[in-house]
Structures are given as structure tokens and as C-alpha cells.
Chains A and B, each alone.
Chain A
């Protein structure tokens, strides 16, 4: 699979400061709903599908963002993500507003690191064969992670795993990640996660 740590752009001083500025958002009081949590966790799963070392990269990024006390290790991060009701081992109760905000910032900064890969996947200017191969690799890895971590009896998970429905859904997730890169991306992602159920 793709090792994004070596290929992704490292956060420069300016970019880091921009992301640190975003910590003021941690004062948000609104609690993320069920659908928002599902999408947030799926986006982190997309990150894991693109980057084999994403688990470690997420911890490094959360350290860079100043979340050492919030996510000191992978288990704490995993516990927050387990609030997703689609998970195989789900946790009851709601996630704290500050925790969900931290996860939003983590998704955006991971998307920033992986932007070159996201861009490659979304570009129509890339050679067709190579791009198809990239999508196949990504889809395979993402499906594996879905089957491993999510409750496959849930309709939403089954729809994500169905071959005829999954390509546009996967593309939408990758596009979401690409559009939440950068300073404006955090606000965009937060707004979309709070969308009501249609």
C-alpha cells in the first residue's frame, strides 16, 4: 500500500501555527450528533487506508496540535472513535464537544499531510491505468478496514461494502478529505458534520 509518511508534505512552521490557531475552536459547545460521528470516523478510516502508518501519524499530528493530554496514546484515540455507532465495538453515550472538535482538527491536519495523495486520486489528468490501480488499492484496503472494524450487520456498512454502490461513496469521502484541507477546511468540515438528517 502507500506509505504516505515519506511522501506527504511535512507541516511547515507557518502551517503548524495556522493549525495551532485552530485550537481556539476547542471551546465549541455543540455536541456532534450520530451522523456526524459516523462521517468523522469514516474519514479517519480513509486516512488509515491511504497511509499504512496512519495510527502513528495521527498520534504525532495530535502531539503537534497540542493534544498530548487528550490523546496520549492510540487507545485513547480509539476510545473516542468508538462512539461511532457503526463500530463493531461501540461505546454508549455522547462524545464531549471538545473531543469531537479535536478529532475534526486531527482529520483536517491529516488531510493536509495526505493532500498530494488525495489530489492524485481525484485528478482526471493522471494516466487512467495508474489511477485505476490506485483506486483499486485504496478500495481494497478501505473495505478490509470496514469489515474489520465496523458492524457489518448495519445497513449503512453493508451499503459501503457493496461493489455497485461503493465507488461513488468512496470518491465522496476522498473529495471531502481534500476539501477540508487548509484553514477554511476546518470550518467547512465542522459545518457539514452538523448537517441535519435529510
Chain B
């Protein structure tokens, strides 16, 4: 949605439980078109059942940088925290089930705001953020890495330890058992070898 084509631009991305609105200006110094948004002056996120979140471009970028990788990891079944206490935004699995977003203000006096989302609300938020970052009218580098398969060690953490080592444990145990059984088979006593020179000598002795 474009409010004022002359100067200020406003775009809105709606889903069932989330509404993301960005306002800003085109960056003419970069040769952007009139309907392109290159400078975000303000943005707001409304999530049904929680308070409205507003901020600067950096905060939106920080939100994207944790929510989208979190969603990517959810697809692979990896549930871990993204963003630590030093970051303005973090997201992780909630103890009560669902997902917990923590928003920290740069001012020390302000307590962190916690937003709890269920799976449906998370997908709505992810769709809003996807729509924003992939909108050709929004000409802002978000600094997001390209979607890629997860490294094996990250995936391994999501699999229970016993299940992870089950195959190698069975293999090693079987190998050891077979080796022990094999070692328990008695070795037949070695028959004395006849030395050809001795043999002929003994035969000669017998003949004499």
C-alpha cells in the first residue's frame, strides 16, 4: 500500500495474526525509483494478542536475522535459541510449548518484552518477513545468508544421543562378540613337520 506517492512510502504485509508495516523513502542517491523504499524511517509489527512493536531499521533487521534462521532450523527439526542476551532480539522454543521472542531495549531501565507465539503465529510472522524481504520495491540489503543445508553437527544435536550412537554401538558390539567367539575356538595342535633331510637320514639309519 502506498500512502503518499510524492515523498513518504508506506508498505504493509498482512497475514491472519500478523501485520508488518514499513515506512520510509526512496534513496535517490542510489538511483532508486519513486516507488522503491531504500530508507526505512519507521516500522511496526502487530501481532494479535500482544503489544505492537515499533523500532528502527536495525531492529527490524535484527528481528529478521533471528526469526528466519529459526524457522529454517524448525524445518530440520532443530530447536535452539537464536540471538543471545547481547542482541536486541532473540527467539527460542518456549518452555510451555510454542516460541518465545525476547525484544530488548537499548535503554537499561526498560525491561525486555517477551512475546509468545504458537506455530500458526510463527508461520504468519515468517510469511510477513518473507514478503518484505522479497518485495522488489524494498531495496534494502538485509544481510541474510542464503538458505543452505544445515551442517551435520547441528542436525545431530536434534537426534537423541542413544539413537545417534545406536548403529555404531550395535556394529562395534557385534564385531567384538564375533572376535571373542572366534578366539574361543581351540586351535588344532600343529603336527610336527617332517624335515626331508632328517627323514632320509632316519630312513637310511633304519635301512642300515
Contact = CB atoms under 8 A, between A and B. Distances in A.
Contacts of B49: 125
A122 B120 contact: yes
Interface string B11-36: 00000100000000000000000000
A150 interface: no
B16 A184 contact: no
A128 interface: no
B74 A179 contact: yes
B148 A191 contact: yes
Contact of A182 (B76, B118, B130, B151): B130
B72 A172 contact: no
A198 interface: yes
Question: Which residue among B126, B151, B158 has the maximum number of chain A CB atoms within 10 Å of its CB?
Answer: B126
Contacts of A185: 130
Interface in B99-144: 118-121, 123-124, 126-127, 129-131, 133-134
22 contacts: A119-B120, A122-B120, A123-B118, A123-B119, A124-B98, A175-B119, A175-B123, A178-B120, A178-B123, A180-B75, A181-B123, A182-B131, A184-B147, A185-B130, A188-B71, A191-B72, A191-B75, A192-B75, A192-B150, A196-B152, A198-B158, A198-B159
The 9 closest A-B pairs by CB, nearest first: A184-B130, A123-B120, A198-B155, A122-B119, A191-B147, A124-B118, A187-B147, A122-B120, A192-B75
Interface of A: 118-120, 122-125, 171-172, 175-176, 178-185, 187-192, 194-198
Interface of B: 16, 49, 68, 71-72, 74-77, 97-98, 118-121, 123-124, 126-127, 129-131, 133-134, 146-152, 155-156, 158-159, 164
Given A182-B131, A192-B149, A196-B155, 14 more contacts: A119-B16, A123-B118, A124-B98, A124-B118, A176-B75, A178-B123, A179-B74, A181-B127, A184-B133, A185-B130, A191-B149, A192-B75, A194-B149, A198-B152
